[in-house]
Structure 1
Amino acid sequence: MPFLPSLPDPAHLMDLYARFPHNVRPLMDYTDGLLRSEGELSVGERELIATYVSALNACTFCAGAHRAYAEVFGIDGALIDALIADLETAPVSDKLRPVLAYAAKLNTLPSKLVERDAQAVYDAGWSEAALYEAVQVCALFNMMNRIIEGTGVNFDYAQAPDGHPASGSTPEDQSASYSRFGAMIEAMAKG
């Protein structure tokens, strides 16, 4: 049940943002810039990190939403399931594993990160820019997960898998999906 009485049950992020539209557009523009722009990490890898962090935080809404995007951008659903079950045994590439391990540690024990955690990312062939992308994705989804969980948004894409806007779409269709969402919320608020 949502914690804000003005939200329907089940509540979707759209319901929350339609009710409280202030600052949604800049947040969605930032999200688009982080998750959809060119980068060291692929769009699929960034969506995978968003999914993984959200799953670690037990945020059902974000884990489900970003799993759908990760799959659109080429990440296999079986890999996502294995990763969420156990990073150590998941069939993740040796190159991506230290990035995910870094994100997991940043997510749960940020003050315990040490130089060797970053060095493992560099030793796998990633640049500082790639590590910073992963850090930003982890940070963004810690914030988003807390917005979702703190307000009681409880829509579950597992209960309505075809209800996700990415269902049946292509990467091109999703190229600016967050900015479009922010613009839609802004238009709803004005109108």
Structure 2
Amino acid sequence: MPFLSSLPDAAGVLDVMKAFPEASAPLVDYHEVVLRGPSALSVGERELIAAYVSGLNACHYCHGVHGAVAEALGVEEGVLAALLADVESAPVRDELKPLFAYVRKLTLTPSGMTAADADAVFAAGWEEKTLFDAVSVCALFNFMNRLVEGLGVKAPDDAYFAVAARRLTSGRDYTGYRRLIADGT
């Protein structure tokens, strides 16, 4: 049950956004740019970063939703759990490992970031824009995890994650959420 009595008992993020459209509409627009805009990282890889950050933060709701989205976009089942266990041995492309190490450190110890952390990303062949994209997804999901946990938003059950993934991969993406918020329905 969410902490705000004005929300329904089984409130999801969309319910929160509908309740507070002034702040939520620009946030959804930012989701669209960061997660679906042009990037050297695929949409699935960005959703995987979102789920990874959420897993590091133990945000079950965002971890479940975005893990399911990443899998619906072609990320193999088990990759997320492997990343959370150990980035270096996870079954992802070698050039992705420094990005995941970077967002891990940024999530868990943000004041400890150094130029050497960025240099490891660049040494893997990534451009500055890709590091910006990864940091943007990381920052967005650290924010979203605090919003979800701070308001007591919980998934009704694990089956919800597949439903949410279908919403975010069936052509409606985040712009569809923007319309739902604007309509208030």
Same-fold call, TM > 0.5? yes
Give SS of 2:21's match. coil
Alignment of structure 1 residues 104-143 onto 2, 5 Å: 104-143=104-143
Q: Post-superposition, which runs of at least 4 consecutive aligned residues in structure 1 deviate over 4 A?
A: none
Correspondence for 1:36? 36
User: Alpha carbons of 1:79 and 1:156: their partners in 2 closer, same or farther (altered >3 Å)?
Assistant: farther
Identity of aligned residues (%): 46
Q: Contact 1:61 / 1:156 at 8 angstroms: preserved in 2?
A: no
Cα distance in 1, alignment partners of residues 157 and 132 from structure 2? 29
Correspondence for 1:16? 16
Q: Contact 1:60 / 1:156 at 8 angstroms: preserved in 2?
A: no
1:3 corresponds to 2:35:
no
1:181 corresponds to 2:170:
no
Correspondence for 1:61? 61
Q: Deviations over 1:144-178 (max 9, x none)?
A: 111100000011552434422527x8x5x34x511
Between 144-153 and 22-31, report the one with greater CA deviation. Answer: 22-31
Task: Please report how far the alpha carbon of residue 8 of structure 1 lies from its aligned counterpart in structure 2 after TM superposition.
Answer: 2.3
- Gapped regions of structure 1 (runs ≥ 5): none
What is the aligned length? 185
Alignment of structure 1 residues 84-95 onto 2, 5 Å: 84-95=84-95
- Gapped regions of structure 2 (runs ≥ 5): none
Q: Contact 1:157 / 1:163 at 8 angstroms: preserved in 2?
A: no
Give SS of 1:96's match. helix
Task: Please report how far the alpha carbon of residue 40 of structure 1 lies from its aligned counterpart in structure 2 after TM superposition.
Answer: 1.4
Task: Please report how far the alpha carbon of residue 126 of structure 1 lies from its aligned counterpart in structure 2 after TM superposition.
Answer: 0.5
More helix by share: 2
Task: Please report how far the alpha carbon of residue 14 of structure 1 lies from its aligned counterpart in structure 2 after TM superposition.
Answer: 1.7
Between 74-83 and 152-161, report the one with greater CA deviation. Answer: 152-161
Correspondence for 1:99? 99
Q: Deviations over 1:91-136 (max 9, x none)?
A: 2221100000000101111111111111111111111110000010
Correspondence for 2:74? 74
